[in-house]
Amino acid sequence: MAKLVKFKLNGKDVEAPEGQLVIDAAKDQGVEVPHYCYHPGLGNPGVCRLCVCEVAGAPKPQMTCRTAVKEGLDVKTDSPVAKRAQASSLEFHLANHPLDCPVCDQAGECHLQDYYQRFGLYKSTVREDKRHKEKRKDIGTWVMLDQERCIQCTRCTRFVDNVTKTHELAVFGRGDRSVLDLYPGMRLDNPYSGNVVDICPVGALTDKDFRFSVRAWYLDRTPSVCTGCARGCSVEVHTNTKRPWHTGGRRVARLKPRYNPEVNGWWMCDEGRYGYKSADAKTRVKGSSVLGTDGQPAQLTPADAAARVAKELRELCADNGPEGLAFLVSASLTNEDLFALKALMKRLGVPLSNAVLAPGADQLGEEDALLRRKEKVANLSGAAALGFGVTKGPEALKGKVWGAWTVGRAGHGSWIGLPFTLWQGANAVRGSDTARWVLAGAHWTETDGTVVNFSGRVQRLRAAVPPLGESAPAWAWFGSVLRALGGAFPHDDAGSVFAALSAAEPAFAGLKFELPKDGVLLPKGRPEAATA
């Protein structure tokens, strides 16, 4: 830590570490200085000139994103000189800006709009015609470019140069003729391309997936965690429930990364970002059912389903022994789900080694040095910390079991013909319709709970929307079957399950359900088995 020095900010004596950027030091004091090009994750080239402020002793206004704090510095961010300099800078940015706000997806979350209201409010002196450039340029799988709206802050080019190192974008030309464009022959299709939409302070880069669906001001925002891989990026789930016609009835409208210095920084991958669609997909299982003798599924109420599954399990366990029941579980289940599963297995007398959590072939994918992990499940470490084996596949159990209870994973088809087959999950997958029993599971965007990422950090998932139809989180299903078997499961929300979990499981001892927003490390560190 650099040593603290005293300096003056708007006439007030404040302290900040020596060498910190004045713009950051001001932010720490609650003083916002307008800026476009500076982004803490992308550096401070000082090209937008919007953060100019008055610095005593300097002949001209200085850029606070290029000025370091030192002893005795005297900065004024709101003096008449500073304000005029900022407003003039903004006017320069808007000189050729089309002001398409009615058709621009950024409206409502646009830094140009916001800064004009807060720091601009000048009368425009520009009388010349605006320069026209290419609009609606399809530059990649997920991104649409409007060159007219671009203010050349170079955030996106620095992102593809320094973060993904894929170098697709650059600013070409000079002066008012400079345009943002792709390098010839390239397309913006790297696995993190969606991030350029988030960092673009204006509506130059918009998301093709989200384009024109919902206005930003209609969205509700819920902090949660992406369950797309073992990284567990902090995300915000943006939902549109008050005006469903805008998204054709889809409740989850988009995901945005949420800043978490310990996990994902400012970014998230495209796979995770667009993975939200399963929440409202046609494949959602909305009700529970049992296959009749005629091979047709008959609908069951949740209470009925739990009672009948419990009855059947009790009989089969009594006849064939509980060691013959296998649980094939997706390691994306929350700790609460797994804790309830453990209680259910204990009640039935099924050994813990009968639970298979190792990612199946469809749950493994690409990995890179930036964020993505090859295990496409969110809670492998949590499962290991709760004492489940997470490396053994289902092969060892083949031929030795009379029943298979599958939760949220594919491959159920290979168990056809067993006396007991149950598939539980949110989205139907290959083989799920071959099970005799189907229990409707809640999607992760509908789930409250905790997951542990690959480095042992516990984070909170929060339900952004209620479970669809009669679907319920996995812990609720395990709990109601457990209760139907005569066991005790006195919980009706995930928080209560977590309280019991942290009291019973040494790996989670002392943790509270209301975790800090960046999450916390497991008190005893990452479990060894999860690294394998």
Partner 1 sequence: MNAKHTVAKVRRPEVRFQEQIYLIEVWKGLVITTRHLLVNLYRHLSVALGRGGPAGSVTTQYPDDPQVTAKRSRTRHRLLKREDGTPRCVACMLCETVCPAKCIYIQAEESPDVMVEKRAKTFKIDLGMCVFCGYCVEACPEDAIRMDTQFIAFPGMTRKDLIWDMPELMGDVKKDPKPVKAVDPLGPAAS
Is 130 among the residues that bind partner 1 (CB under 8 A)? no
The answer to whether the beta carbons of residues 219 and 239 sit under 8 Å apart is yes
> What does DSSP assign to residue 385?
H
Alpha helices in 232-334 (DSSP H): 270-273, 302-320
Distance CA 527, CA 386 (A): 9
- Range in contact with partner 1 (rule: CB under 8 A) among 44-52, 240-248, 258-266, 472-480: 240-248
Is 249 a binding residue for partner 1 by CB under 8 A? The answer is no
375, β-bridge pairs: 364
CB 426, min distance to ligand SF4, A: 16
Shortest separation between residue 503's beta carbon and ligand SF4, angstroms: 29
Nearer to ligand SF4, 74 or 100 (CB): 100
Around Cβ 265, how many Cβ atoms within 10 Å?
A: 17
DSSP letters spanning 50-116: -SEEEETT-SS-EETTS-B--TT-EEESSSHHHHHHHHHHHHHHHTT----GGG-TTTTS-HHHHHI
Q: Which two three-digit tokens encode residue 386?
A: 């709760």
Could you say which of partner 1, ligand SF4, none residue 220 binds, taking C-beta under 5 to 8 angstroms by partner kind? partner 1
Judged by beta carbon distances under 5 to 8 A according to partner kind, the member of partner 1, ligand SF4, none in contact with residue 269 is ligand SF4
Using the rule CB under 8 A, which residue among 6, 118, 177, 243 binds partner 1? 243
According to CB under 8 A, which one of 68, 101, 182, 352 is a site residue for partner 1? 101
Choosing among partner 1, ligand SF4, none, which partner's interface includes residue 243 (Cβ < 5 to 8 Å by kind)? Answer: partner 1
Residues that bind ligand SF4 (CB under 6 A): 97, 99-102, 104, 106-107, 110, 112-113, 149, 202-203, 226, 228-229, 231-233, 264, 268-269, 271-272, 371-372
Q: Which of 241, 414, 427, 434 binds partner 1 (CB under 8 A)?
A: 241
| CB of 70 or CB of 135, closer to partner 1 | 135
| Residues β-bridged to residue 238 | 221, 254
For ligand SF4, the nearest residue by Cβ is 272
Among 6, 118, 165, 211, binds partner 1 (CB under 8 A): 211
Closest CA to 119 of 60, 36, 42: 36
Compute the distance between CA of residue 358 and CA of residue 377 in angstroms, rounded to an integer: 10
Pick one of partner 1, ligand SF4, none as the site partner of residue 241 (Cβ within 5 to 8 A by kind). Answer: partner 1
DSSP state of 170: E
CB 411 within 8 A of CB 431: yes
Instruction: Work out which of 6, 118, 136, 167 binds partner 1, going by CB under 8 A.
Output: 136
Does 465 contact partner 1 by CB under 8 A? yes
Q: Which is nearer to partner 1, 337 or 446 (CB)?
A: 446
Q: Are 334 and 461 in contact (CB under 8 A)?
A: yes
What is d(CA 376, CA 362) in angstroms, rounded to the nearest whole number?
8
Six-digit token string for 515: 């975790």
Binding residues for partner 1, rule: CB under 8 A, are 100-103, 107, 135-136, 211-213, 215, 217-218, 220, 222, 239, 241, 243, 245-246, 248, 462, 464-465
